[in-house]
């Protein structure tokens, strides 16, 4: 973005304002809005008129009142200390007139792009109508870069295009971790299902020096190792995949650290009976819901010597407070380390935010699904469409 002259130009910026709202329509977490500020402020400081576009939720091509972007406009306005105009729609004569009248230093936020089914269809006419609002295009929505939609690909093909500062930071940081990490490179992976992360594990086998694995996906790997995990969440149809990964890691000499002990419970509920056991002593009918204290100590011994840490996914059922300790402790360990630390994934990000250690991480990704696909080595449509410098 810094390579182009934006003075006096109307710049269409694809942002990711897919933020959580409470029942009263207030933004409850403005992390993604704050992440967009450097790009927006840079454009305003350099004499541009800024037209912002985003989706919110999954309205499925229809207007859904609870998914309007006005709360995001209000939140952004407070952060920018600049009025943010809210458009009545993302296309149409009134929107076009407002965009044409926009002066340098002014900001307009279009209404939820996904109120139109043409957005997700990457419709040519819808792309042209969006592109007609501006002179240049900037993509700063890394979290949507894995989607070939009108606002992420279609408009980029019609206007002079470039990456925003957040997009650049995501690509530089994640790409650097893959291509030239400081050693040892430790990958911490969690989450419910190995099926959603196996491609990442396989892609990182040639790059990582060690894996630390928790969450529900660890149960499938433990069972593949022959461990009886009781009634814990297991993907039985992925046991062969889990075995292949463990065998490949062993053949490559890459340690895979699985939980040695765990918090188990009679049910996935705050009030359920729970206790700490060795993983191979999980009682019949009980479920593994978090990593145990010995596993945390084992993980600490690996994390403390790391040069680069990539963490994606919780260590347990993080949304239940009683089962969140392992994830919180990993957040603290990563923050206390001297490593270059990269955190991605909703619950991982939530953990570092809750612990108040987000500012001690080298990079907290806004990516989610896009980050996972990038770490799998896949080409992201919203990145591929942008020209090289």
Strand 287-291 and strand 161-163: pairing?
Answer: unpaired
- What average pLDDT does the chain have? 96
Asked if residues 1 and 39 have their Cβ atoms less than 8 Å apart, the reply is yes
102, pLDDT greater than 80: yes
Give the whole-angstrom CA distance, residue 164 versus residue 136.
12
Average pLDDT of span 48-55:
98
Is residue 207 located within the same domain as residue 335?
yes
CATH number at residue 164: 3.40.50.1260
Residue 159 is classified by DSSP as: S
Q: Residues near 166 by Cβ (< 8 Å), separated by ≥ 6?
A: 35, 36, 38, 39, 140, 142, 366
Average pLDDT of span 101-126:
98
- On whether residue 174 sits in a domain, the answer given is no
Which one from 132, 307, 369, 377 is the annotated catalytic residue? 369
Is residue 268 located within the same domain as residue 363?
yes
Is residue 66 located within the same domain as residue 159?
yes
Domain closes at, from 168, 197, 229:
168
261, pLDDT greater than 90: yes
Residue 287 burial (CB count, 10 A)? 24
355, pLDDT greater than 90: no
Which one from 193, 307, 360, 377 is the annotated catalytic residue? 193
Task: Encode pLDDT of 221-250 as tens digits.
Answer: 999 999 999 999 999 999 999 999 999 999
Q: What is the pLDDT of residue 189?
A: 96
Catalytic site residue 346?
yes
Which one from 57, 61, 176, 346 is the annotated catalytic residue? 346
- What is the value of pTM for the model shown? 0.91
Residue 309 belongs to domain spanning:
181-375
- On whether residue 337 sits in a domain, the answer given is yes
Is residue 297 located within the same domain as residue 325?
yes
As given in the structure block, the two tokens for residue 30 are 């403005």
- On whether residue 192 sits in a domain, the answer given is yes
Catalytic site residue 32?
yes
Catalytic site residue 193?
yes
Q: Using alpha carbons, list the distances in angstroms from residue 346 to 159, 197, 231, 315.
A: 32, 14, 26, 13
Catalytic site residue 62?
no
Task: Encode pLDDT of 147-196 as tens digits.
Answer: 999 999 999 999 999 999 999 999 999 999 999 999 999 999 999 999 99
- On whether residue 143 sits in a domain, the answer given is yes
Task: Encode pLDDT of 277-289 as tens digits.
Answer: 999 999 999 999 9
Domain count, the chain: 2
DSSP string, 264-306: EESSSSTTS-EEEEEGGGPPTT-EEEEE-HHHHHHHHHHHTT-
Which one from 32, 68, 114, 340 is the annotated catalytic residue? 32
Is residue 250 located within the same domain as residue 161?
no
Is residue 206 located within the same domain as residue 158?
no
Is residue 297 located within the same domain as residue 269?
yes
């Amino acid at each position: 973005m810094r390579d182009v002259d934006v003075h006096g130009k109307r710049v269409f910026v694809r942002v990711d304002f897919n933020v959580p709202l409470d029942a009263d329509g207030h933004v409850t977490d403005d992390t993604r809005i704050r992440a967009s500020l450097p790009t927006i402020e840079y454009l305003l400081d350099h004499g541009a008129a800024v037209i912002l576009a985003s989706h919110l939720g999954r309205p499925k091509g229809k207007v859904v009142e609870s998914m309007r972007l006005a709360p995001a406009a209000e939140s952004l306005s407070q952060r920018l200390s600049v009025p943010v105009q809210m458009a009545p729609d993302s296309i149409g004569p009134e929107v076009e007139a407002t965009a044409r009248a926009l002066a340098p230093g002014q900001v307009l936020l279009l209404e939820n792009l996904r109120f139109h089914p043409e957005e997700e269809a990457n419709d040519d006419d819808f792309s042209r109508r969006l592109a007609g609002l501006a002179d240049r295009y900037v993509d700063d929505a890394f979290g949507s870069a894995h989607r070939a939609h009108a606002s992420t690909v279609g408009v980029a093909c019609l206007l002079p295009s470039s990456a925003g500062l957040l997009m650049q930071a995501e690509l530089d940081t994640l790409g650097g971790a893959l291509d030239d990490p400081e050693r040892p490179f430790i990958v911490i992976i969690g989450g419910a299902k190995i099926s959603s992360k196996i491609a990442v594990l396989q892609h990182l086998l040639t790059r990582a020096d060690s894996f630390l694995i928790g969450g529900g996906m660890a149960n499938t790997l433990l069972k593949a190792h022959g461990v009886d995990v009781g009634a814990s969440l297991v993907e039985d149809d992925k046991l062969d995949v889990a075995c292949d990964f463990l065998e490949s890691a062993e053949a490559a000499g890459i340690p895979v650290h699985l939980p040695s002990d765990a918090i188990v419970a009679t049910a996935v509920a705050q009030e359920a009976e729970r206790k700490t056991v060795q993983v191979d002593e999980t009682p019949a009918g009980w479920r593994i819901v978090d990593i145990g204290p010995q596993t945390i100590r084992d993980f600490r011994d690996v994390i403390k010597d790391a040069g680069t840490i990539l963490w994606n996914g919780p260590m347990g059922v993080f949304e239940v407070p009683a089962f969140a300790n392992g994830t919180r402790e990993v957040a603290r360990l990563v923050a206390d380390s001297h490593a270059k630390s990269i955190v991605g994934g909703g619950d991982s990000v939530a953990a570092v935010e809750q612990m108040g250690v987000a500012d001690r991480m080298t990079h907290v990704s806004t990516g989610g699904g896009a980050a996972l696909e990038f770490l799998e080595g896949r080409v992201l449509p919203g990145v591929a469409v942008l020209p090289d410098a």
